[in-house]
Amino acid sequence: MYYFSIPDSSKTRVGNMAMLHLMREYPEWFYDDFKIDVAYGCPPSCIWNGGRAENGDRYSQLEFASVINLFKNHGVKYRLNFTNQCLKEEHLSDGYGNAIAEVVNDFGGEVAATLSLMTDYMANKYSNLDIVWSTSTDYGQSVDERIERINQLLKKYKVVLPYNFNNTADLDKFKCPENIEILVCDGCKDNCELRSQHQLMVSQSIIRGVFDENLNYCQRNADGNVKSLLEQDVSHFRSSVGRNKLPWYADKGINKFKILGRDCVISIFIEGLVDYLIKPEYQEEVRQDLLRRVLTREIFEKKP
């Protein structure tokens, strides 16, 4: 069984709900070897967020609880992305961050973080939240240092593995493979030299309260010009993990996979869900149906 984490944001939530509804209505359209285990994201305008800059109205606790409950009704846990790399002690008293953490804690979800400051705070204050270490963590300078550090974490936590380890022999050096989560379709070029800089820029921007969604694009071509995911074919990247590669990971004891969510471009989001969850003969029909539902915000129509 493959366990998938899917991206959730204000832009993609309708698509998520439509997909989960279709799974109940038309199970024959879907592969029968997977479970959507987690929806991951962070409500708009939260300074603890570090993965993507998303502006918008802040939720009340009641509003956010209704979102979490929708996923729970489909057997899906919620994972908060508290991955801002610039957090300091004084930021831990942020009222909005604590309010949404309390909601997910009440439902028994997860929290992904990239700093010990945040993981320690969450573990001490919100005991119902399982800790996940984010792929954006700086695990060390050399490959051996990274592997050693990750192996230490894997003894206790789920770890979203840095995508540069995808499809490499180094995977055999990791212990506790049952705690590894693979980012299957990152979209960033292999060994992107701008990735760390970009993630730091996003974190700095959010801490300042500047939620510039243009910062969510770090993909670049060879001459350094910015390219969005819509302008490039990422399937040739060495780190890309197609669905036909999943059994290879399962043979290594790895069965957790994370679908791209950094940019939350609707068409890319839908493509990820369709590629990994839907049987080929139904993919085009579902792709068009999900896009229509997202654009019209229609979720529970009986028939696609």
Please answer whether residues 164 and 190 qualify as being in contact, where contact means their C-beta atoms are separated by less than 8 angstroms. yes
Query: pLDDT under 70 in the chain at which residues?
Result: 51-56, 136-140, 186-195, 198, 210-238, 261-265, 297-304
**What local confidence, expressed as pLDDT, does residue 119 receive?**
95
CA distance 248 to 258: 16
User: What pLDDT, on the 0 to 100 scale, is given for residue 44?
Assistant: 84
pLDDT in the model for residue 204: 77
Alpha carbon distance 222, 107 (integer Å): 45
Q: What is the pLDDT of residue 186?
A: 66
Which residues, 6+ apart, have CB-to-CB distance to 20 below 8 Å?
36, 71, 74, 76
Q: What pLDDT score does 209 carry?
A: 74
State the CB neighbour count (10 A cutoff) for residue 142.
Answer: 9
Please state, rounded to an integer, the average pLDDT across all residues of the chain.
Answer: 84
Q: What is the pLDDT of residues 191-200, one digit of tens each?
A: 666 667 767 7
